[in-house]
Amino acid sequence: MGRMHERAGTPAQPQDLIDVDALLGAYFDQVPDPANPEQKVVFGTSGHRGSAFDTAFNEAHIVATTAAIVEYRRAQGTDGPLFLGKDTHALSGPAQDTALEVLAAAGVRVCIDARDGYTPTPAVSLAILVENGAVDPTGLRTSGSGLADGIVVTPSHNPPRDGGFKYNPPHGGPADSDATRWIANRANEILTGGAWRQVPRKQLKDALAADSTERFDYLHLYLRHLPTVIDLDAIRSGGVRIGADPLGGAAVDYWGAIGEEHRLDLTVVNPEVDPTWRFMTLDWDGKIRMDCSSPSAMASLRGLMEGADAPYDIATGNDADSDRHGIVTRDGGLMNPNHFLATAISYLYGGARPDWRPDARIGKTLVSSSLIDRVGAKLGRRVEEVPVGFKWFVPGLLSGEVGFGGEESAGASFLRRDGRVWTTDKDGILLCLLASEIMGATGRTPSQLHRDLTDELGESWYARVDAAATKAQKDTLAQLSPSQVSATELAGQEITAKLTEAPGNGAAIGGLKVTTADAWFAARPSGTEDVYKIYAESFVSEAHLGEVQDAARTVVAEALEG
What's at 138, amino acid-wise? T
Instruction: Give catalytic residues, as residue numbers.
Output: 156
Query: Which segments of 381-460 are extended strands (E)?
Result: 383-386, 402-407, 411-414
| Side chain identity, residue 477 | L
> Length of the chain in residues, anyone?
562
Q: Write the DSSP symbol of residue 513.
A: E
Q: How many CB atoms lie within 10 A of CB 86?
A: 28
Question: Looking at this protein, which amino acid is placed at residue 414?
Answer: F
Ramachandran region, residue 139 (left: φ > 0; alpha: ψ -120 to 50; beta: rest): left
Give the residue among 111, 58, 50, 56 at the shortest CA–CA distance from 86. Answer: 111
Classified as helix, coil or strand, 521 is strand
Residue ranges in 262-358 assigned as alpha helix (H)? 299-304, 337-347
DSSP string spanning 122-135?
HHHHHHHHHHTTTT
Which whole-number Å values give the CA distances from 390 to 6, 178, 370, 448, in the listed order? 33, 15, 18, 28
Q: Which residues pair with 308 in a beta bridge?
A: none
Sheet holding 149-153, edge to edge: 43-44, 47-51, 162-168, 149-153, 82-86, 110-113, 213-216
Residue 197 makes CB contacts below 8 A (sequence gap 6+) with none
Cβ-proximal residues to 190 (8 Å cutoff; 6+ apart), any chain: 63, 64, 67, 68, 196, 199
Q: How far is the C-alpha of 290 from the C-alpha of 372, rounded, in Å?
A: 26
Closest CA to 81 of 190, 204, 168: 168
Residue 419's φ and ψ, nearest 5 degrees, are 95, 0
Please say whether the beta carbons of 191 and 64 come within 8 A. yes
Nearest to 388 by CA among 412, 370, 364: 364
Query: 64: closest CA among 197, 167, 204, 162?
Result: 197
Return left, alpha or beta for 121; rule: phi > 0 is left, psi -120 to 50 is alpha, else beta: alpha
